[in-house]
Amino acid sequence: MATVTLTKDNVEDVIRSDNMVILDFWADWCEPCKSFGPTFEKVSEDHPDVTFAKVDVDAEMELAQSFGVRSIPTVAVLRDRVVLFNQAGALPESALESVVEQGKAVDMAAVHDEIARNDQGGEGTATA
């Protein structure tokens, strides 16, 4: 599957409509981002069941801030609107593959149960 461009205008539709979304926060001037881009594209082709989306931090500053992006590239993984992973740095292909597989393996019922318990205790959630 080809990557999609994520913007403030389509973020709700993309996150709401897909079970798992992998985000790449990048900028055109960022050399590590340029190096990571082909890796992100290749892994996206290997996982047609996952949405891979790119966020240009210069064009979408608010969106990047909402995900706590402080350095680029940053990769984030969401499932069922919950952020499971958020890490700065260009990942090698094997590491990105591992992140995708680990994201797929997460027991989301258990995650939602824990979020509900935390909500009852007055703590914040990890939802996007």
What the block records as the tokens of 80 is 């069922």
Identify whether 63 is a catalytic site residue.
no
In the set 11, 20, 33, 99, the catalytic residue is 33
DSSP assignment string, 28-73: TT-HHHHHHHHHHHHHHHH-TTSEEEEEETTT-HHHHHHTT--SSS
Active site residue 76: no
Could you check whether the bond before residue 73 is cis, i.e. omega within 30 degrees of 0?
A: yes
Please give the positions annotated as active site: 30, 33
